[in-house]
Amino acid sequence: MHEEEAQQRFQELVWPQMQGVLRTALLLCGGRTAEAEDLAQETLLKAYRAIDQFQPGTDAKAWLLTILRNARIDRIRSTGSDSTTVSLENLVRDPVAGAASPPEIERGALAENPAIVLETFSDQEVIEALRRLPEEIRWTLLLVDVEGLEQKDAAAILDVPEGTIKSRAHRGRKMLRDDLLPAARRHGIVKG
């Protein structure tokens, strides 16, 4: 592929996804802006170098997020470990089993417009709650709920079975709800 053709493909396929790559990198890096920008830049550089390997008709976002994931893994391996990584096997309790259900949410407002509930939280509250999740679950929620990928695409990016994505998404949403419960009480979304 000629340089001019590679640049054009990059501009068409990759450049529109840049904000999503940076947003995902920022969340994965625990809000450390410089580290996230470096990771996003590394991802875009690798994508540019491999643009001739991108298969037309496939999802550019999924392709880029796979490159981002692999770049993140390479960085963790090269530095030893990542202090924000928590293994699911090391969780003290299963967040799905045995946890008390949160108090009842005002069903009228939720049924009419569930986005109202989400908008009640500040971006910072949601970001901090996401950062506290184990990395495997954080990745899953970022891909499925934030980036809007299909579960099968998220499974391909994370190289796990689709059932694992379903399980992680369920666990992660429960963990996120539990983490945001105090803020929901402060905002008057939840009684009690």
Separation of alpha carbons 36 and 172, rounded Å: 22
One-letter amino acid at 171 equals R
Domains of the chain, earliest start first: 3-79 (1.10.1740.10), 88-186 (1.10.10.10)
User: pLDDT category, 122, cuts 50, 70, 90?
Assistant: confident
Flag whether pLDDT at 88 surpasses 80.
no
Is the pLDDT at 133 greater than 50? The verdict is: yes
Q: Which residue has the higher pLDDT, 36 or 76?
A: 36
- Alpha carbon dihedral 134, 118, 23, 80, in 10-degree steps, equals -10
At residue 126, the pLDDT reads: 82
Cβ atoms 47, 14 nearer than 8 A: yes
Helix axes 60-79, 18-28, angle to 10 degrees: 30
Q: What is the pTM of this model?
A: 0.62
